[in-house]
Chain A
Amino acid sequence: GAVVSQHPSRVICKSGTSVKIECRSLDFQATTMFWYRQFPKQSLMLMATSNEGSKATYEQGVEKDKFLINHASLTLSTLTVTSAHPEDSSFYICSADTGAREQYFGPGTRLTVT
């Protein structure tokens, strides 16, 4: 149980375009989902906390207008990278909280902006 999926697993896009990444909890409802970013050989950095039906809470230094988060249902949160640039290339990982303060992580999405 407690499986989290992400789609797509890899995406390549051109500079200036927008990319949407989906995070789904497959077998449980997640009132809270988290979005992380990981650069090569580095740690995970929390970008934002997403609560179902409310606005996401962004960490300091993360541009909310660039990284749009929508948590429309208890099983789906989306991260849209708007007007992507090469420096946005990274590994994006989501996690979903079961409600018991246990986070289950998705497999990640590799974004490459050319």
Chain B
Amino acid sequence: SQQGEEDPQALSIQEGENATMNCSYKTSINNLQWYRQNSGRGLVHLILIRSNEREKHSGRLRVTLDTSKKSSSLLITASRAADTASYFCATETNDYKLSFGAGTTVTVRA
């Protein structure tokens, strides 16, 4: 079943601006992961943050996790046209399955 809810559903920004999207979930998790999907393609793993971590960085990506609020955010800094894609959060629970959020579609305008 789908656990994550993402916000906003869609985001349009100018190249160079930052993009922030949020993910909320309902149950306890082992970790939370963010993925990118270009139109009609497979998923690319971006970053994993464990339940005992609060913040993680990878290049231009910054992920936060607040387990008390059951929420996470993904920040893409200095966006590029190539960042145009859909972004999904996925939570891993004790049964090691991934439950995906509805996704945020990001459009970066040149």
Contact = CB atoms under 8 A, between A and B. Distances in A.
Interface SS of A by simple majority = strand
Interface stretch (B51-59, B61-69, B74-82, B92-100): B92-100
B99 A101 contact: no
Interface of A: 6, 32, 34, 36, 41-46, 49, 59-60, 91, 93, 95, 97, 101-108, 110
Q: Which of under 10, 10 to 19, 20 to 34, or 35 or more describes the interface residues of B?
A: 20 to 34
Contacts of B101: 43
B49 interface: no
A108 B97 contact: no
A105 B97 contact: no
Contacts of A41: 105
A59 B92 CA distance: 15
Contact of A105 (B42, B99, B102): B42
Contacts of A104: 45
A108 B38 CA distance: 12
23 contacts: A32-B96, A34-B97, A36-B100, A43-B88, A43-B100, A43-B101, A43-B103, A45-B100, A46-B98, A46-B99, A59-B1, A93-B42, A95-B43, A95-B98, A101-B96, A103-B98, A105-B35, A105-B43, A105-B44, A105-B45, A107-B42, A108-B42, A110-B40
A32 B92 CA distance: 15
Contact of B43 (A93, A97, A102): A93
A18 B41 CA distance: 23
Nearest to A42: B102
Contacts of B2: 43, 45
Nearest to A109: B42
A60 B99 CA distance: 14
A69 B42 CA distance: 20
A104 B46 CA distance: 11
A49 B2 CA distance: 16
Given A34-B97, A44-B100, A46-B98, A108 B88 contact: no
A59 B41 CA distance: 23
A46 B1 CA distance: 7
